[in-house]
Structure 1
Amino acid sequence: MATTIRVNENVKKQLKIKAAETGKSQYELANKYILEGLKNDKTPCDTMTIEEIEALLKHDNPKGNKLLNEIDGTIDIDEITDSVKLKKDSYRI
């Protein structure tokens, strides 16, 4: 599966230089460095399966999806709020 990843311009330049120095493609080096970073990452996190990730990406409406609500920080309440009015009111003294 091919995908596009945006990287910092400085990282892109360094990758290009490293590719020229080693004779390897930027693609090969990027994959190598990403895999090494993933292996060495000691940050504790909950690992989701590919199926769980795909389900999240396909889901358009987080309402009713507990995991999406936790990720985006929404809270179920019965009260309807008007974010524009709340923002305008916050400017009033």
Structure 2
Amino acid sequence: MARYHVTVVSGDPSRTAAEVAVDAGAEVIRKMSVADGVAALATDEQIDALTAAGATVQRHADLAEGRAERLAEVGEGDRYAEALRRLAGR
């Protein structure tokens, strides 16, 4: 299931974008401020629910896209282990 970084803007003036996003099950990113809306993480189904509720949703990035490549950049094991063994005289 794909998850996206999105911006949600409420279509209902009586409800905040955060309220609309949470009601649809999206995860609001509270540390990110967005003009007139809220940053969130949402699946395709949640995006559909948000648009059905009258919210405007802008997709920014598919979080799974490029995931394998980014994980391949992460080293395995302790890159300092050999140097520490030499320093310890082992």
Q: TM-score range with shorter-chain normalisation?
A: under 0.3
Which of 1 and 2 has greater Rg? 1
TM-score, normalising length: structure 1: 0.21
Q: Which structure's relative contact order is higher, taking Cα pairs within 8 Å and 6+ residues apart?
A: 2
**Which has the larger helix fraction?**
1
**Which has the larger strand fraction?**
2
